[in-house]
Amino acid sequence: MEKPWFEVEHYIGGEFVGGGNGFDVRYPATNEVIGTAPEGKEAEVDAAVGAAQEAFGKWGRMGAGERRLMLKRFAEGIRARADELARVESWDVGRPIRENTHGYVLRVAANIEFFADFVVTHGSDAYPMDTGYINYVLHQPVGVAGLITPWNVPMMLSTWKIGPALAFGNTVVLKPAELTPIGAWKLAQIAHESGLPPGVFNVVQGFGPDSAGAYLTAHPDVDLISFTGETTTGKAIMKSATDTLKRVSAEMGGKGPNVIFADADVDKAVQTSLRSSFFNQGEFCLAGSRIMVQRPLYEEFLEKFAAAAKGLKPGDPFDESTSLGSLIGPEHLEKVEGFLNGRSPAFHSGAEVRLGGDRPDLGAPFDGGNYLNATIVADVKPEDRISQEEVFGPVATAMPFDEEDEAISLANGVSYGLSAVVQTRDLGRAVRVAGAIDAGTVWVNDFFVRDLRVPFGGMKSSGMGREGGVYSREFFTEAKTVCLSNK
Ligand code: NDP
């Protein structure tokens, strides 16, 4: 495939600025430079926040129906350029194109469309009092929303915030991860073409700490921050946002348990575990790669899972047969390998690398990329570092358990609580275990099915707050009570 060249820009106040200089944009699959992106600093953040503040006056007061029509055009623009956006996401992230085309871009559009519709299809509560007074609730926009997103699923995660922020009447400044700047720039182009008024949606490219991300978080005229990324970054953002009393929603890391009981359909459990461990080459906050299998099924499951995972094919993300993409960059590859290699691997000596652990031999130019074969480490212990920390790569671990209570306690024995998978044919057990696991979302006999109406977010170190449907409305609006006198 011919290498493209992207001159990524900021999008501020309805204008594309800053292109042609800044930092290199690299294609993770080869580490070749495929463009440049401008490095936003205080001046760009100030300009974007100023533009968003100015636009808020009109956008925030506009009727929800009118906003809906504009956002529908934005979503239609995304769908119309679905093929291009799917390719862009592969250039940005290194994810196989077949994982992008299968519904991915449609979901990117749906994230906007859903909330555009939500605002006109949902009313608000009224509370008549015994004394005859009537209270009703208004959900009013907050102001300027700062959105800070990570590199692993950039378009999905940014529209997940852009959609509700705009639909509920806020204006937006988006700071995408510096490793994946292309998608946000493309979304800005589509917003522009679809006629979104200037300043309603702004993008400032650049870095996080002591730079664009931190300026945005600390900016006195930004009213709320919706952040997705690492737990340590989330903590820093929350601290910084406290000084200006911003509300913060933080979706952070995960270490999802995948609990497989002996009565589970083993072939289905293998397929579900393949997706939960290796989708997006494991660079996935929701990954259910901390696998626990009830002892009678342990060996059979591991054998079948390893055979299936061996069939995952790393390589050219644009080859339709590629099923395992490149990690985001060399430093991240080394971090993931650090869980497996070296003088002190992140597991005790009795554990065994059943599959992978090595880099594939792909030849030029992909041997210059950041590939790791699908990896399974069996017989890990709960206290091993690999069982406790987020690996964020194509690495699954497995350990046996005997009793249901033990499985629950193992599942909950980490600091994270984002998502979990439970696999069993016993409905009562599914209900008990799903209820007992510390996680914002639990999938029973499946993985990564997401209804935009339901709350999404994490417990413990995985997050603060929930987004989705009415939960997004709670975050992206000010609820105001009006009390009507009957006198
Ligand atoms: P990071 O926390 O490193 O970065 C996320 C975003 O925050 C980036 O745009 C980054 O900018 C920015 N940033 C970094 N430091 C600061 C700061 N001090 N102030 C303001 N902004 C800052 O996460 P990654 O990009 O490495 O993403 C991977 C992480 O995201 C994993 O832990 C994963 O679990 C989590 N994640 C959570 C999800 C969830 O829904 N819970 C979903 C997807 C991922 P820059 O990168 O440009 O420096």
Does any domain span residue 449?
A: no
Residues 183, 299 within the same domain: no
Q: How confident is residue 337, by pLDDT bands cut at 50, 70 and 90?
A: very high
Residues 468, 358 within the same domain: no
For 440-454, how does the pLDDT look when each residue is reduced to its tens digit (9 = 90+)?
Answer: 999 999 999 999 999
Residues 281, 338 within the same domain: yes
Does any domain span residue 289?
A: yes
- CATH code at position 230: 3.40.605.10
310-317: average pLDDT = 97
Dist. CA 381 → ligand 1 center (Å): 28
Q: Whose structure tokens read 């499951």? A: 301
For 221-239, how does the pLDDT look when each residue is reduced to its tens digit (9 = 90+)?
Answer: 999 999 999 999 999 999 9
CB 224 within 8 A of CB 145: yes
Residue nearest to atom 46 of ligand 1 (CA): 177
Residues 271, 248 within the same domain: no
207 lines ligand 1 (CB under 6 A): yes
Q: How confident is residue 349, by pLDDT bands cut at 50, 70 and 90?
A: confident
DSSP single-letter state for residue 324: B
Dihedral angle sign, alpha carbons of residues 319, 324, 329, 333: negative
Task: Judge whether residue 248 has pLDDT over 80.
Answer: yes
Range of the domain at 218: 6-252+462-485
177 lines ligand 1 (CB under 6 A): yes
Does any domain span residue 125?
A: yes
d(CA 152, CA 446): 21
For 168-179, how does the pLDDT look when each residue is reduced to its tens digit (9 = 90+)?
Answer: 999 999 999 999
Q: How many domains does the chain have?
A: 2
Atom of ligand 1 nearest to the CA of 232: 2
Q: Which residues are catalytic?
A: 251, 285
Phi, psi of 228 (to 5 degrees): -130, 130
| Residue closest to 146 by CA, chosen among 222, 57, 252, 64 | 222
Q: Report cis status (omega within 30 of 0) of the bond before 455.
A: no
Task: Judge whether residue 244 has pLDDT over 80.
Answer: yes
Task: Judge whether residue 198 has pLDDT over 70.
Answer: yes
Residues 324, 197 within the same domain: no
Q: Whose structure tokens read 């340590």? A: 232
Output the pLDDT for position 413: 98
Does any domain span residue 306?
A: yes
- Say what percent of the chain tops pLDDT 70: 99
95-109: average pLDDT = 89
Does any domain span residue 379?
A: yes
Task: Judge whether residue 15 has pLDDT over 80.
Answer: yes
One DSSP character per residue, 51-106 reads HHHHHHHHHHHS-HHHHHHHHHHHHHHHHHTHHHHHHHHHHHH---HHHHHTTHHH
Output the pLDDT for position 343: 67
Atom of ligand 1 nearest to the CA of 175: 9
| Residue closest to 126 by CA, chosen among 475, 484, 468 | 484
Task: Judge whether residue 342 has pLDDT over 70.
Answer: no
Dist. CA 226 → ligand 1 center (Å): 11
Output the pLDDT for position 103: 81
Task: Judge whether residue 102 has pLDDT over 90.
Answer: no
3-22: average pLDDT = 93
Dist. CA 177 → ligand 1 center (Å): 7
Interacting residues of 420 by C-beta distance below 8 A, sequence separation 6+: 256, 257, 258, 259, 288, 411, 434, 437, 439, 441, 442, 443
282 lines ligand 1 (CB under 6 A): no
Residues 214, 284 within the same domain: no
Q: How confident is residue 426, by pLDDT bands cut at 50, 70 and 90?
A: very high
For 368-396, how does the pLDDT look when each residue is reduced to its tens digit (9 = 90+)?
Answer: 999 999 999 999 999 999 999 999 999 99
Residues 387, 346 within the same domain: yes
Q: What is the mean pLDDT of the chain?
A: 96
Residues 176, 285 within the same domain: no
Q: How confident is residue 19, by pLDDT bands cut at 50, 70 and 90?
A: confident
Residues 216, 337 within the same domain: no
Helix (H, G, I), strand (E, B) or coil at 29: coil
d(CA 127, CA 479): 14
If one residue of 8, 39, 95, 152 were mutated to test the ligand 1 pocket, choosing by the most ligand atoms within 8 A of its CB, it would be 152
If one residue of 230, 452, 454, 460 were mutated to test the ligand 1 pocket, choosing by the most ligand atoms within 8 A of its CB, it would be 230
Output the pLDDT for position 341: 85
Dihedral angle sign, alpha carbons of residues 385, 388, 394, 397: positive
Interacting residues of 234 by C-beta distance below 8 A, sequence separation 6+: 227, 250, 252, 463, 464
Q: Whose structure tokens read 């309603």? A: 200
* Total-model pTM: 0.96
